[in-house]
């Protein structure tokens, strides 16, 4: 069995590769070419949770075991940490244990990267709310899928932004201007793409109808029914609301609330996979475009299997016997 560390993944999986793998996974989702049992949530304490996420796709069984601990904002530990396990689908043999913390960060950013690539690839300005580990890779994904030249950053703890910028500079191989802001309205006004990567239970963007024309807004952080990053205005302004999975309609407050409250109609909620597979048309130019990712085990299994096979071929990682 192959053990792949954070550095193994970071050094041998480019964001371009990850985006391509996830785009292919979207097409598998559209064609129902996978088996994905429901993921399970278990509350550990307060808002801190354990998630178990299985999927069978291609020649592998993928399983992600992940913790989401918003309380880690008070510590140096990442909010999201986990392991991805890859087994042979034919024999059940265990093949690999992969650091799921870094793999999740890259994979989730790659989902946004697919959306940016197909919905606003010519954007030159991106605003990010939430400068944690996930936010870091969201910027890398933006650089890999758009024409971005300038980033605007907001964090509720502004003292954390400088170290975030230093880390970003250390892993990015492209130049970009970075502007920290203290006002989220300024961030939205100056950004063509706005990304929220927080664990907030209440909207983190201004509820102002004048700010969002010709924007792409990507919600990343919320994944539970009591969590919402996006304000009511966005749903009422958008012609269509793109999401990455049907499961999100019963799991995520950023999808549940708009549907239950009538801010969007069911026919307006469109799977991004249907856009990629040609089942629906691209959004009209000049409108607000809204995309919400809740993520799913199909993405984790697909990218985990890709990383395992690449590492095995290149002789990377530590071979272990259990």
Distance CA(102)–CA(81), nearest Å, equals: 8
Is the Cβ–Cβ distance between 286 and 93 less than 8 Å? no
Helix, strand counts (H, E) of the chain: 11, 15
Same domain, 78 and 56: yes
pLDDT at 224: 85
102, 9 Cβ separation under 8 angstroms:
yes
How buried is 184 (Cβ within 10 angstroms: 0-12 exposed, 13-18 middle, 19+ buried)?
Answer: buried
In a shared domain, residues 167 and 289 = yes
**Pair (118, 247) in one structural domain:** yes
Residue 142's nearest CA partner among 161, 122, 156 is 122
Same domain, 38 and 136: no
Q: Which two tokens stand for residue 200?
A: 């907030």
Give the pLDDT of residue 9: 96
Q: Which domain CATH number covers 222?
A: 3.40.50.720
Residue 124 lies in a domain: yes
Asked if residue 77 is part of any domain, the answer here is: yes
Confidence at residue 72, expressed as pLDDT on a 0 to 100 scale: 85
121 and 88 co-located in one domain: no
Please tell me what DSSP assigns to residue 13.
-
pLDDT of residue 263: 96
Partners of 45 in the β-ladder? 48
What is the rounded CA–CA span in Å between residue 172 and residue 162?
15
Same domain, 61 and 122: no
Distance between alpha carbon 252 and the CA centroid of its chain, in Å? 14
Token look-up 């530590």 returns: 318
* pLDDT of 176: 93
User: Is 263 within the bounds of a domain?
Assistant: yes
Same structural domain for residues 152 and 274? Answer: yes
Q: How far apart are CA 109 and CA 157, in angstroms?
A: 22
Eight-class DSSP state of 73: G
94 and 176 housed in the same domain: no
Q: CATH number of the domain that 19 lies in? A: 3.30.1780.10
The verdict on residue 108 lying in a domain is no
Same domain, 42 and 168: no
Are residues 182 and 213 both part of a single domain?
A: yes
Decide if 214 contacts 189 (C-beta within 8 A).
no
pLDDT of residue 159: 86
**Residue pair 95/88 in contact by the 8 Å Cβ criterion:** yes
Q: Which helix (H) or strand (E) holds 55?
A: strand 48-57
Instruction: Give the model's pLDDT for residue 310.
Output: 97
Structure tokens at 305: 């299997």
Tell me the whole-structure pTM to 2 decimals: 0.93
- pLDDT for the residue numbered 5: 96
pLDDT of residue 74: 76
Residues 184 and 276 grouped into a single domain:
yes
Exposure string for 77-94, b = 16+ CB within 10 A, e = fewer: ebbbbbbbbbbebeeeee
Q: Positive or negative CA dihedral for 36, 245, 266, 279?
A: negative
- 166 shares its domain with 63: no
pLDDT at res. 78: 79
Domain total of the chain: 2
The answer to whether position 32 is within a domain reads yes
Q: What is residue 94's predicted lDDT score, i.e. its pLDDT?
A: 97
* Residue 91 lies in domain: 2-103+298-319
Sites in the chain below the pLDDT cut of 50: none
Among 72, 10, 86, 31, which Cα is nearest to 302's? 86
């Amino acid at each position: 069995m192959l053990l792949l560390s954070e550095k193994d993944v970071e050094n041998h999986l480019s964001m371009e590769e990850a985006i391509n793998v996830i785009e292919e996974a979207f097409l598998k989702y559209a064609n129902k070419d996978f088996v994905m049992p429901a993921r399970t949530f278990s509350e550990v304490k307060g808002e801190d949770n354990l998630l178990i996420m299985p999927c069978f796709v291609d020649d592998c069984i993928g399983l992600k075991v992940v913790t989401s601990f918003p309380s880690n904002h008070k510590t140096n530990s990442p909010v999201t940490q986990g392991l991805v396990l890859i087994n042979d689908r034919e024999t059940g043999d265990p093949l690999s244990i992969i650091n799921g913390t870094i793999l999740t960060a890259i994979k989730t950013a790659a989902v946004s990267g697919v959306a940016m690539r197909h919905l606003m690839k010519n954007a030159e300005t991106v605003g990010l709310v939430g400068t944690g580990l996930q936010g870091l890779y969201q910027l890398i994904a933006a650089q890999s899928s758009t024409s971005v030249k300038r980033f605007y950053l907001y964090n509720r703890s502004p003292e954390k932004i400088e170290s975030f910028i230093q880390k970003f500079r250390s892993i990015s191989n492209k130049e970009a201007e970075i502007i920290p802001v203290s006002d989220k309205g300024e961030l939205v006004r100056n950004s063509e793409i706005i990304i929220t990567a927080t664990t907030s239970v209440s909207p983190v963007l201004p509820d102002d109808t004048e700010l969002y024309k010709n924007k792409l807004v990507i919600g990343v952080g919320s994944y539970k029914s009591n969590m919402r990053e996006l304000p009511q205005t966005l749903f009422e302004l958008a012609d269509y609301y793109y999401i990455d999975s049907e499961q999100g309609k019963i799991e995520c407050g950023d999808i549940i609330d708009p549907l239950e409250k009538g801010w969007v109609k069911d026919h307006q909620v469109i799977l991004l996979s249907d856009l990629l597979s040609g089942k629906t048309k691209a959004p009209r130019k000049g409108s607000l475009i809204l995309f919400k990712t809740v993520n799913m085990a199909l993405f984790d299994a697909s990218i985990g299997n890709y990383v395992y096979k690449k590492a095995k071929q290149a002789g990377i990682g530590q071979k272990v016997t259990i």
